[in-house]
Amino acid sequence: MEKLTKELLEQWSEEYNGSAERQLATMALSKTNLNDVSYVASAAFDMKQKFSVEIKTMDVTDQMHSGRCWLFAATNILREKIAKALGLEKFELSQSYLAFWDKFERCNYFLENIIDTADRPADDRTVSFILTSGVHDGGQWDMFVNIVEKYGLVPKDVFGETGQSCDTSGMNGIVNRNLKACAVKLRNMIKEGSSSEEVKEEKNRMLQKLYAFLCSCYTEPPKTFDFEYVDKNGIYHAEREMTPKAFYEKYVGDYLCKMISIINAPTEDKPFYRTFTVDRLGNVAEAKGVKYLNLPMPEFKGAVVRQLQAGKVVWFGSDVGKGGDRKNGIWDDNSFNAELLTGLDLEINKGDGLDYRFSAMGHAMVITGVNIKDGKPTRWKIENSWGDKNGAKGYYVCSDSWFDAYVYQAAIEKEYLGETADLFEEEPIVLKPWDPMGTLAL
């Protein structure tokens, strides 16, 4: 390895001290956030909350101190459908109910993966990934579908928030500590020659304790409930002794079966018009894994626009850690010029960004509008789940260039994909567990 010499350091020091740009940047950065200094107001002015296609939706929700964005975004789509059918001005589904069952199912999924890989050393990359990932709050569209199809849905006023459901770090830490202890015991049992039945019985004892702990954190999910609501005309309604599955079947029906998860991943290992899955990424052991159809961005956006034009909002996954101003509620790569401020080369395309771990999905939201100019999108309206204190009462806007760079996934109804939807039936290519297309679940 080549060392850094005193001569080089002296040369670079002289160049730094002789640069007016670097001295100005030093003054600006001494007391100001880097993102604020790189802010380009003239570009940000274009991020107006005005859209040629806009779907009126209810007040934003708040996931609080948790990583349940995927559940909030998905239930925000379904609540619009239910509220419209029942004539409700306000309505929210219980994200905690789904989070409870997702977390419990993920505990079983984790232990099953530990058992399945028990013949490998602990530092095997797959085993290490399973142990490092553990069980957390994130998830994918297909994982939402798995939980809803198995356990149904309940309104939020039936199963609300607790101290642990809305601030999950402590609970997650305990769950993952326990799961690692369980992993040690199960792997040792298998190594010592325990029968599969003995291992299964021990795993079930572990799950029994985890169930009790999660009930302590969330309270126990309801088996039946009374669905009570007052419609926009002030009329009270009640449906007694509903089960969560009956509620789902009555008010959602086969809607989720019509959805396809599309991605835009322009990397060499993911050819367009092919389907993909991620190995060992899931929640419900007996259910299907995640599955994506990879499309070029023009076709990806075309499907999103068609669904919006039909009056239906869109669940999507993106990287919100890039080019954002949370207070003003914008995401726009042109509204920040960090390259000029820092003097560094920061250009990296979307495909390289995925391959070199610069960018990946980390947050799910809902697209509720788009502005079309000369037949092309210019900006998009976004319903977030970070409360109503920022943006336009919690609604954000992103530029089309930011969409191109940092939007990776969307759930689209088959009819808005046309014949392309038929490709989804193909057998998927299996990606490694650590592929960046799985990061939203972590």
d(CA 325, CA 35): 8
Q: What CATH number does the domain containing 407 carry?
A: 3.90.70.10
pLDDT tens-place string over residues 127-181: 999 999 999 999 999 999 999 999 999 999 999 999 999 999 999 999 999 999 9
The residue from 146, 176, 294, 363 that is catalytic is 363
pLDDT tens-place string over residues 373-403: 999 999 999 999 999 999 999 999 999 999 9
What is the DSSP pairing of strand 376-383 with strand 395-399?
antiparallel
pLDDT tens-place string over residues 201-256: 999 999 999 999 999 999 999 999 999 999 999 999 999 999 999 999 999 999 99
> Which amino acid is present at 117?
T
Q: Residue 256 belongs to what H/E stretch? A: none
Q: Is residue 2 part of a domain?
A: no
% of residues, the chain, pLDDT over 70: 100
Q: Is residue 359 part of a domain?
A: yes
Annotation says 363 is catalytic: yes
Q: Is residue 386 part of a domain?
A: yes
Question: Looking at the whole model, is its pTM more than 0.85?
Answer: yes
Mean pLDDT of the chain: 97
- Look at the chain and report how many structural domains it folds into: 1
Predicted local distance difference test score (pLDDT) of residue 83: 98
Which of 424, 126, 104 shows the shortest CA–CA distance to 280? Answer: 126
d(CA 430, CA 361): 18
Q: Is residue 21 part of a domain?
A: no
Provide the domain limits for residue 310: 53-441
Predicted local distance difference test score (pLDDT) of residue 310: 98
Q: Is residue 417 part of a domain?
A: yes
Mean pLDDT computed over 276-282: 98
Cβ neighbours of residue 184 closer than 8 Å, sequence gap 6 or more:
none
Mean pLDDT computed over 270-292: 97
Q: Is residue 271 part of a domain?
A: yes
Annotation says 113 is catalytic: no
Mean pLDDT computed over 272-282: 98
Mean pLDDT computed over 318-324: 97
- Asked if pLDDT for residue 442 goes beyond 90, the answer is no
The residue from 76, 264, 294, 384 that is catalytic is 384
- Asked if pLDDT for residue 322 goes beyond 90, the answer is yes
The residue from 69, 107, 217, 398 that is catalytic is 69
Q: Is residue 45 part of a domain?
A: no
d(CA 204, CA 188): 16
Predicted local distance difference test score (pLDDT) of residue 285: 98
Q: Is residue 219 part of a domain?
A: yes
Residue 357 near residue 267, CB atoms below 8 Å:
no
